[in-house]
Structure 1
Amino acid sequence: MARPKNQKARREQLVHAAKQAIVERGLNGLRAIDVAAYSELGAGSVAYYYPDLGDLVREVHEDAVSRFYWNRKQSSVDDDQPRLKLRRTIRSGIPTSRDDIDFQVLNELHTHAYRDTFHAELMAELYRLEVSLYVDVLSEGAEAGEFTMTLSAETAASNLVAMEDAYGLHFMGGTPLEVDEIFRLILANAEVLTGCRLLES
């Protein structure tokens, strides 16, 4: 049995291993042995920490949502211009590559949410948090006179989240769109919503 002080580290290790297993093998039929294959622990240890593998999957989802949101929250913290904050917020919502593990896991769990209330509620919370990121920066830009909003901040924010989700899904699914092209397409829409030049000349 692991010492109490190692419990947190072991669980974090298994959450990371489970993410890799979900990405490589999918969520349906996920087994303790699949998680163990991506960690230094055996299947018995996985079962010890998570007798119900569903609990591990739920921790994976919570971790992915938290990391995704807080990484995005921090991405524009050093910018003092709403225009730059908006550019960074948009960029942080686009996968850096098709190997981005948190994007892969969130896409996999998104489909699972259709059948599971817990996962559905987490996806709804993530959507709310993402919209709030945009509402904050759009409201700041409008108050500073830098943005001339054609829609309410809430409506514009919802549209931007929907665009990044849709483009991200297509990108991760193999559609021949490059990251820079997705960024440019969303920026073009954001320019219309804010009346502010966002694309680099």
Structure 2
Amino acid sequence: MERFYDERMKALEGVDDPASRLVITIRSGLPADDDDEEVRLLCALGGEAARNTVYAVLLTALFDRQVAMYQAILEMGRAQGVFELASDSLKIARNLVALEDAYGYRIMAGHPTLDHDATAELILDYARLATAHPLVKET
């Protein structure tokens, strides 16, 4: 689970531009491919969370940390005048994490047209609407 929060936070060290931070965070939140063992484990935990309180607590904590990570980036962008948020930052952040999770499942299921780059672009499309920023692939 460190990969989806701690490692992402480390990847943002030294990156001051909120748009760059958002792109990096989105791109690093998806499985590399359908053989991604760490994501396979998270998917299995997710399937068991309804029956196992420990798994449910772990996954809820991860979700909340990821939401807070996105929300901080969105608020930073708004404060700097880089983003014009279309909605409350909490709602946008929750949607970004939910999109990561949903598209991550599609990647893991081997969807023929949804690989890492395609799904990152779909999530970036939502983020562009939510932030009124072009969010180029490598900002």
Query: TM tier, shorter chain?
Result: over 0.9
Check conservation: 1:68, 1:102, Cα contact below 8 A: no
Cα distance in structure 2, aligned partners of 1:150 and 1:126: 25
Match of 1:96 among 32, 40, 51: 32
| TM-score with structure 2 setting the length | 0.93
Residue type at the aligned position of 2:48: H
The match for 2:125 is 188
Q: How many residues align?
A: 137
The one-character-per-residue Cα deviations of 1:80-113 (angstroms, maximum 9, x if unpaired) are: 1000000001011111122222111111111011
Match of 1:105 among 27, 41, 44: 41
Which of structures 1 and 2 has the bigger CA Rg? 1
Check conservation: 2:100, 2:123, Cα contact below 8 A: yes
Cα distance in structure 2, aligned partners of 1:67 and 1:148: 29
Flag as ranges the 4+ runs of structure 1 deviating above 3 A: none
Residue type at the aligned position of 2:120: F
Matched, 1:117 2:117: no
The match for 1:33 is none
Q: Give the 3 Å change call, closer, same or farther, for CA 178–66 of structure 1 in structure 2.
A: closer
Cα distance in structure 2, aligned partners of 1:137 and 1:90: 11
Q: CA deviation at 1:67?
A: 3.7
Matched, 1:75 2:32: no
1:120 is paired with a residue of what secondary structure?
helix
Percent identity between matched residues is 36
The one-character-per-residue Cα deviations of 1:2-21 (angstroms, maximum 9, x if unpaired) are: xxxxxxxxxxxxxxxxxxxx
Residue type at the aligned position of 1:111: G
The match for 2:109 is 173
Check conservation: 1:146, 1:196, Cα contact below 8 A: yes
Question: Counting helix residues as a fraction of each chain, which structure ranks higher?
Answer: 1
The match for 1:139 is 75
1:115 is paired with a residue of what secondary structure?
coil
Q: CA deviation at 1:200?
A: 4.5
Match of 1:126 among 62, 65, 68: 62
| TM-score with structure 1 setting the length | 0.65
